[in-house]
Amino acid sequence: MSTFRRVATISFNATLRTYLSGSNLFWIVAFPILLSFLISLWLGSDGDTAVSRLGITYETPRGDQASREFVRVSKVFGVYLIFCFSTLLTRAGNLHDERRRGTLQRTLVAGVPYSEIVAAHLVSLILVGALQAVIVLVGTGLLGTRWLATGWGSVILPVAGTIFAASGIALGIAGLLRNPGIVQLLAGGAPSILALMGGAFFPLDVAPAGVQRLAAVNPMYWAMEALSGGFVYSGWASQAAPMAILFLFGVIGMVIGVQGLRRFEP
Amino acid sequence: MTASIRQMGVITAHLIRKVAFNPAVVWLIAMPLVIIYILGITMHGLFSAEFTPVKPYRIVVALPEEAGFLVERISRAPKHFAVEEARDAQEARQAVFQRQADAAIVAADGDEPLTVIAPPGSIVLEMLAGVVQASLEQEAQQVAAAQPPVENGSREESDTGARSAGAADGALSAMPWEGVGSFEYFSIGLIVMFMAFASHSAMVHCVQDRSTGAYLRIRALGVTRAVYLGAGITSGMLLGAGFSLVMAVITWTLFRVVWGNAAAWALMTIAGAASVASLSFLLTALLPSDPKGVENAGGTVYSLLAFFGGSTVPLTIMPRWFSEIFSWLPNRKMLDGYLKIVKGAGVKEIEQELFGLAAAALIMLGLAWLVVMLLKREEV
Amino acid sequence: MATHAAVQEARGQAAGDPSIVVEGLRKSFGKNVAVDGLSFTVHPGEIFGLLGPNGAGKSTTLSIMAGLIRPDSGDVKIGGHSVIRETQRAQRLMGVVPQGLAVYEELTAAQNLDYFAKLRGIEKKRRRQEIEEILELVGLSGVAHRKVAQYSGGMKRRLNVGIGLLGRPRVLLLDEPTVGIDPQSRRHILDSVRRLAESGMAVVYTTHYMEEVEYLCSRLAIIDRGRVIAHGPIDEVRALAGDAVVLRLPFPRGVLDEAAKVESLQNTLPMPVEVTSGELRIVLPQGSRQAPAVIEELQRHGVPLDGMRLESPNLETVFLSLTGKALRDGKAAEEGAMA
Ligand SMILES: Nc1ncnc2c1ncn2[C@@H]1O[C@H](COP(=O)(O)OP(=O)(O)O)[C@@H](O)[C@H]1O
Ligand SMILES: [Mg+2]
């Protein structure tokens, strides 16, 4: 059996099992949609401050009406960011879980090299992330969020960058920590704080200079930048830099993860 | 009777000991402190009346001579705006588009005299719009004073504009968070949120006992179910109140939060603890024999309540109608009450919140009892 | 029983080259020596028993044999391939049944088997057939499409064994596969293992139940704290106890001065005295003729003699007389009583 086939089998199994648990289904799928819906309700009222008044016209940097949707879309995207990170960080413990259960050892005895198991684990993180993104984006889209107002690229790039970065970071966490309680705590608490500090729910202008500088090492800040680059500014050109940084986050996380997991090799 | 009370006391003490001497208690205290600190610093600007950006916003203008008053007006706030002139509207637009400037004001081609270009939803747009509008109104009034007969339309429009702005100001001063700093706000918000977790941990231990058989052992000693449940609720209440007390002292030491009238605070804390304990009891009644499930349900419910009740996402950034439809939540009542107390309210001013919480506690206890009765199996 | 062992032995010798060769295994975790110089061989068709109390080093030995842990020294050859130098080739020849329940509870038995079969590289057509055979063998055909989470402990154990049989391995390593299950499931597993050996598999079976070794194995090693204390064909090992018999006596807990009594007995009697889960055990190295003296001593201590009996030599007697302690600690003994 080829490496490719084995990695595919393992990652498919891990992904399938993720979705077989009722509580996972709730947390990964239903809850994010529900919450995003409530958020978009919340935003129903404000959002468009920019109606013409008193002889003033308001224009977005791109100059089109569609990019006004950014106000609403960005808040829902913020909620999505929280769920993407908390889902993938939770799944980061999966490999240690398998070690505790003994299924990891069993897989090794079946003749699968450890490196392939780690690779499959990463692929499964990305798959779970991608599946969640599709479900949440379609779900909230049907509930009224106009994701595609300014075209596919505005949304797909930031979402893909987020999934890649979050998967890498999750793998990195798995390489550093193996205590399930601590990983769980991190997955529950860190994403909302990162979102608030990354400007997902209110503009970072109100934060002091130190917090604004800290945003540079916050993947969620760059995800928001990639989104605004697509919706408000020049599209591809302004998305390139934040995308590159998100990619870097993912790669650094993966390197740390692979190195760290090697320590735990049976 | 006295035997029951003594038994209840013993079980309550046991449950409290189990929670308080568990290493997890460190997280219960450290987590909210870290979050208070982070949110307090991050949202400092949202809670102070005067907002000044870290660096002045770069505003590019391309305006005809007649609009000189506008440029002059904007330049009067150098801490907020740094004004640059562009050759033409095209260049100004490009500057914003290329993100070399934060916003631009250009003369429009159509009948409207001005176009403001800025990212939607941004603070620079809010501020600039405010200033531009105000100075246009002022200019219009001056023109009107010099030349009495002008078109009625714009006059009216400026009036309504002024009125609605005034109305908004008046409403703002009545807002519960008005005059409270970010550290005070989030100390209150997170204590309210984590009080529920603290209280809940007593109930989680009760359910754990049930699943390990320790409960049966206790029942076999002649403890009735009511006594056991009573002990669970009592220890939940005491843990909630104790948590609140400990956190009040810590936040006072670390963040200088002044907690105001002691009697009002104590009453608020007791009423709040009663409401969280009864909510926890209700959750437990629904999932009687699954400790992990009870713990997770608590996590979900309390996080949601914290979200909608203004603990984690502050009321300041919620639209008013949204915060109003959730004002009946018990944790929101607690938040409102503590906010009032911090602002100097006595017992009299928080009566409404106290009654609300007491009513909530009674309703949830009643519901929980109903559930317990309905789900009652062979157990006596 | 004896004939079964004899048949196995005959089969083993006839088959020529051993399937498993373990040579001088040594492994320590920090200062704790888990395996201390273990060697044995197993021929095709033979069931080799590794008997020892908890913490003896059985699981560590099996993990080394499965290529999951590097030994500090020594080597294991499976079908002539070293698990250290040709790990994956050796692994392809063996099936492993770990001590823990290494199954996915959220999947069905069929899904579990299918997954590990794929990873072993068994092609589609053979996979189906083999999974059916295994389900039949472990008696789970009827519930193959139910989630494992709904299984009883015994069913989970049987699935755990079944997964180890995928790929028709020549060598099967079982690590306490019957811990904490009902008698039927236990019987089922023991009989399956026997049948597999009859079909020519070489089996290593670890346990702390001496009855299982007596029932299954032709040869065994008894280990304690990583060290081999007895090794060889089962009859030879049994004979190591010599004339020794064990005097067993119910010794109810809650007798006021129990601890003091035991201590005093241990001081006065020249032989090992042990108390486990309400039973007093005294090894009589020279056989039953020592009994009267001991009984007298017991009476002198005021120990009630109801239910006293003498036990003829068996593996447990061997262990007790060689180490001075019971094969099962209190907890394990309780588990055994439940099973
Ligand atoms: N990964 C490990 N790290 C440290 N010590 C271990 C590890 N695995 C086993 N041990 C120790 O090695 C000894 C033998 O353990 P084990 O092989 O599990 O015994 P058994 O399976 O016979 O009960 C025990 O003292 C155990 O504590
Ligand atoms: Mg073991």
Same domain, C210 and C295: no
- Which of B148, B166, B184 terminates a domain? The answer is B166
**Tokens matching residue C205:** 């079976």
**% of chain A residues with pLDDT over 90:** 38
Q: Are A72 and A40 in contact (CB under 8 A)?
A: yes
pLDDT category at B84 given cuts 50, 70, 90 is very high
Same domain, C232 and C249: no
pLDDT category at B121 given cuts 50, 70, 90 is confident
Residue indicated by tokens 């005299």: B113
> How would DSSP label each residue in B193-243?
HHHHHHHHHHHHHHHHHHHHTHHHHHHHTT--HHHHHHHHHHHHHHHHHHH
- What is the C-alpha separation between C188 and C182, in angstroms, rounded? 10
Question: Hey, what amino acid is at C206?
Answer: T
Bridge-partner residues for C274, per DSSP? Answer: C281
- Rounded to whole angstroms, what are the CA distances from B378 to A156, B373, C143, C281? 56, 11, 31, 44
- What is the C-alpha separation between C166 and A113, in angstroms, rounded? 18
Same domain, C166 and C290: no
Out of A52, A60, A185, the one facing B119 most closely (by C-beta) is A60
Total domain count for chain B? 2
- The yes-or-no verdict on residue B246 having pLDDT over 50 is yes
- What is the C-alpha separation between C196 and C138, in angstroms, rounded? 12
Q: Give residue B112's pLDDT.
A: 59
- What is the C-alpha separation between C139 and C185, in angstroms, rounded? 9
Question: CATH number of the domain that B95 lies in?
Answer: 3.40.190
Residue indicated by tokens 């004004």: B83
Strands C309-311, C245-250: parallel, antiparallel or unpaired by DSSP?
antiparallel
Q: What is the ipTM of this complex?
A: 0.84
Strand, coil or helix: A127: helix
- Whether residue B52 lies inside any domain: the answer is no
Same domain, C247 and C99: no
- Whether residue C195 lies inside any domain: the answer is yes
Q: Which of A52, A57, A183 best probes binding to B when mutated, by most B CB atoms within 10 angstroms?
A: A57
Residues 166 through 195 of chain A touching chain B, CB cutoff 8 Å: 185, 188-189, 192-193
From the CA of B68, how far away is ligand 1's center (Å)? 84
Same domain, B87 and B193: no
Give the number of whichever ligand sits closest to the CA of residue C53: 1
Record the pTM. 0.78
* A44-100 pLDDT per residue, tens: 544 444 455 567 788 888 888 888 888 888 888 988 998 899 899 988 888 888 888
Out of C100, C103, C116, the one facing A110 most closely (by C-beta) is C116
- Rounded to whole angstroms, what are the CA distances from B301 to A175, B97, B235, B240? 31, 43, 20, 16
Q: Which residues of C touch A17 (CB under 8 A)?
A: 104, 106-107
- What is the C-alpha separation between B7 and A93, in angstroms, rounded? 42
Residues in chain C: 339
Q: For residue A265, which phi and psi values (nearest 5 degrees)?
A: -55, 135
Contact C119 A111 (CB under 8 A): yes
Q: How far is the alpha carbon of C50 from chain A, nearest alpha carbon, in Å?
A: 20
Same domain, B189 and B288: yes
Same domain, C91 and C183: yes
Q: Are B195 and B272 in contact (CB under 8 A)?
A: yes
The closest alpha carbon to B21, from B241, B201, B272, B231, belongs to: B201
Bridge-partner residues for C82, per DSSP? Answer: C77
Question: What is the residue-level pLDDT of chain C in tens, covering all 339 positions?
Answer: 455 666 666 665 555 789 999 999 999 998 999 999 999 999 999 999 999 888 899 999 999 999 888 999 999 999 999 999 998 889 989 999 999 889 998 899 999 999 999 888 888 899 999 999 999 999 999 999 999 988 998 999 999 999 999 999 999 999 999 987 888 888 989 999 999 999 999 999 999 888 899 899 999 999 988 889 889 998 888 877 777 787 888 876 655 566 777 778 878 888 777 776 677 878 787 777 888 888 888 888 878 788 888 877 777 777 777 776 666 554 433 343 333
Mutate to test the pocket of ligand 1, among C25, C27, C29 (most ligand atoms within 8 A of CB): C29
Same domain, B213 and B325: yes
**Tokens matching residue A257:** 């993860």
**Tokens matching residue B36:** 């208070």
From the CA of C34, how far away is ligand 1's center (Å)? 6
Which range marks the domain in which residue C122 is found?
Answer: 4-237
- The yes-or-no verdict on residue B118 having pLDDT over 50 is yes
Q: Which residues of C touch A111 (CB under 8 A)?
A: 88, 91-92, 119-121
- What is the C-alpha separation between B307 and B322, in angstroms, rounded? 12
Cα angle C40, C43, C48 (rounded to 5 degrees) comes to 55
Q: Which residues of C touch A6 (CB under 8 A)?
A: 119
- Whether residue C317 lies inside any domain: the answer is no
**Tokens matching residue B193:** 């949120």
Question: Hey, what amino acid is at A187?
Answer: A
- What is the C-alpha separation between B200 and B162, in angstroms, rounded? 50
Residue indicated by tokens 């109140």: B241
Q: Which residues of A touch B54 (CB under 8 A)?
A: 205, 208-209, 212
* B178-190 pLDDT per residue, tens: 778 889 999 999 9
- Whether residue B379 lies inside any domain: the answer is no
- The yes-or-no verdict on residue B205 having pLDDT over 90 is no
Question: CATH number of the domain that C270 lies in?
Answer: 3.30.70.790
Q: Which helix (H) or strand (E) holds B46?
A: helix B44-47
The closest alpha carbon to A240, from A168, A146, A153, A149, belongs to: A153
Same domain, B235 and B353: yes
DSSP annotation of A30 reads I
Same domain, B206 and B234: yes
Q: For residue B147, which phi and psi values (nearest 5 degrees)?
A: -125, 90
- Which of B147, B166, B185 terminates a domain? The answer is B166
- Touching check for A17 and chain C: CB below 8 Å? yes
Q: Give residue B359's pLDDT.
A: 95
Q: Give residue B229's pLDDT.
A: 86
**Which residue's CA is the nearest one to ligand 1's atom 26?**
C55
Same domain, B337 and B212: yes
Contact C91 A17 (CB under 8 A): no
Cβ neighbours for A162, distance < 8 A, ≥ 6 positions apart = A81, A84, A129, A219, A223, A246
Q: Give residue B108's pLDDT.
A: 66
Same domain, C292 and C156: no
* B320-379 pLDDT per residue, tens: 777 888 889 999 999 999 999 999 889 999 999 999 999 999 999 999 988 888 876 545
- Whether residue C291 lies inside any domain: the answer is yes
* B44-68 pLDDT per residue, tens: 877 876 778 888 999 999 888 777 8
**Tokens matching residue A185:** 């705590």
Same domain, C142 and C274: no
Same domain, B208 and B335: yes
- Rounded to whole angstroms, what are the CA distances from C141 to A128, B317, C107, C108, C152? 32, 60, 15, 11, 15
Same domain, B66 and B194: no
Cβ neighbours for C238, distance < 8 A, ≥ 6 positions apart = C313, C314, C315, C318
Lowest mean pLDDT among B113-127, B162-176, B234-248, C84-98: B162-176
Q: Give residue C111's pLDDT.
A: 93
pLDDT category at B172 given cuts 50, 70, 90 is very low
- Touching check for A3 and chain C: CB below 8 Å? no
- Whether residue B171 lies inside any domain: the answer is no
Q: Please compute the mean of the pLDDT values over residues A30-40 and round it to a whole number.
A: 77
- The yes-or-no verdict on residue A156 having pLDDT over 90 is yes
Same domain, B244 and B124: no
Alpha helices in chain C (DSSP H): 2-14, 58-65, 87-92, 109-119, 124-137, 153-164, 183-198, 210-216, 234-239, 258-268, 291-300, 315-323, 330-338
Query: Where does chain B show beta strands of DSSP type E?
Result: 57-62, 81-85, 103-107, 114-117
Q: Which helix (H) or strand (E) holds C74?
A: strand C73-78
Same domain, B97 and B230: no
Q: Which residues of C touch A108 (CB under 8 A)?
A: 67-68, 91
Question: CATH number of the domain that C93 lies in?
Answer: 3.40.50.300
DSSP annotation of B349 reads G
Strand, coil or helix: A85: helix
Q: Give residue B54's pLDDT.
A: 87
- Whether residue B345 lies inside any domain: the answer is yes
**Tokens matching residue A60:** 């977005």
Same domain, C247 and C229: no
- Whether residue C318 lies inside any domain: the answer is no
From the CA of C231, how far away is ligand 2's center (Å)? 19
Q: Give residue B150's pLDDT.
A: 43
From the CA of C58, how far away is ligand 2's center (Å)? 5
Same domain, C52 and C118: yes
Mutate to test the pocket of ligand 1, among C33, C35, C54, C60 (most ligand atoms within 8 A of CB): C60
Same domain, C158 and C298: no
Ligand 1: lining residues by beta carbon, under 6 Å:
C 29, 32, 34, 52, 54-60
Q: Which residue has the higher pLDDT, B117 or C303?
A: B117
The closest alpha carbon to A72, from A51, A45, A50, belongs to: A45
Alpha helices in chain A (DSSP H): 3-20, 22-25, 31-45, 70-92, 94-101, 103-109, 114-142, 152-176, 180-197, 209-214, 219-231, 236-263
Q: Which of C118, C156, C171, C179 best probes binding to A when mutated, by most A CB atoms within 10 angstroms?
A: C118
- What is the C-alpha separation between B204 and A21, in angstroms, rounded? 22
The mean of the pLDDT values for chain A is 86
Contacting subunits of C (3+ beta carbon pairs below 8 A): A
Contact A205 B122 (CB under 8 A): yes
Lowest mean pLDDT among A7-16, B298-307, B357-366, C255-264: C255-264
Contact A110 C107 (CB under 8 A): no
Residue of A nearest to C97 (CA): A106
DSSP annotation of A205 reads G
The mean of the pLDDT values for chain B is 83
Total domain count for chain C? 2
Contact A108 C92 (CB under 8 A): no
Q: Is C41 exposed, middle or buried (0-12, 13-18, 19+ CB in 10 A)?
A: middle
- What is the C-alpha separation between C308 and B225, in angstroms, rounded? 45
- Which of C237, C261, C289 terminates a domain? The answer is C237
Mutate to test the pocket of ligand 1, among C28, C31, C36, C59 (most ligand atoms within 8 A of CB): C59
> How would DSSP label each residue in C314-337?
-HHHHHHHHHSS-SS-HHHHHHHH
- Whether residue C323 lies inside any domain: the answer is no
Q: Which residues of B touch A221 (CB under 8 A)?
A: none
Give the number of whichever ligand sits closest to the CA of residue C223: 1
Q: How far is the alpha carbon of B230 from chain A, nearest alpha carbon, in Å?
A: 30
Q: Give residue A132's pLDDT.
A: 92
Cβ neighbours for C84, distance < 8 A, ≥ 6 positions apart = C67, C70, C71, C75, C76
Laid out side by side, the sheet with A56-59 consists of A56-59, B114-117, B103-107, B57-62, B81-85
Bridge-partner residues for C220, per DSSP? Answer: C49, C232
pLDDT category at B156 given cuts 50, 70, 90 is very low
Nearest-atom number in ligand 1 for the CA of C63 is 17
Contact A46 B35 (CB under 8 A): no
pLDDT category at A236 given cuts 50, 70, 90 is confident
Same domain, B121 and B185: no
Same domain, B108 and B182: no
- Whether residue C336 lies inside any domain: the answer is no
Across B146-175, b (16+ Cβ under 10 Å) vs e yields: eeeeeeeebeeebeebeeeeeeeeeeeeee
Q: Give residue B175's pLDDT.
A: 66
- Which of C207, C237, C267 terminates a domain? The answer is C237
User: Alpha carbon A89 to chain centroid distance?
Assistant: 10
- Which of B121, B137, B166 terminates a domain? The answer is B166
- Touching check for A202 and chain B: CB below 8 Å? yes
- Whether residue B144 lies inside any domain: the answer is yes
Q: Give residue B157's pLDDT.
A: 36
- Whether residue C320 lies inside any domain: the answer is no
Q: Are B11 and B227 in contact (CB under 8 A)?
A: yes
Residues in chain A: 266
Same domain, C224 and C283: no
Q: Which residues of A touch C68 (CB under 8 A)?
A: 105, 108-109, 266
Which range marks the domain in which residue B108 is found?
Answer: 57-166
Lowest mean pLDDT among A79-93, B117-131, B140-154, B219-233: B140-154
Torsion over CA: A199, A204, A210, A216 (sign): positive
Same domain, C273 and C195: no
Strand, coil or helix: B132: helix
- What is the C-alpha separation between C139 and A189, in angstroms, rounded? 46
From the CA of C327, how far away is ligand 1's center (Å)? 17
- What is the C-alpha separation between C146 and B304, in angstroms, rounded? 35
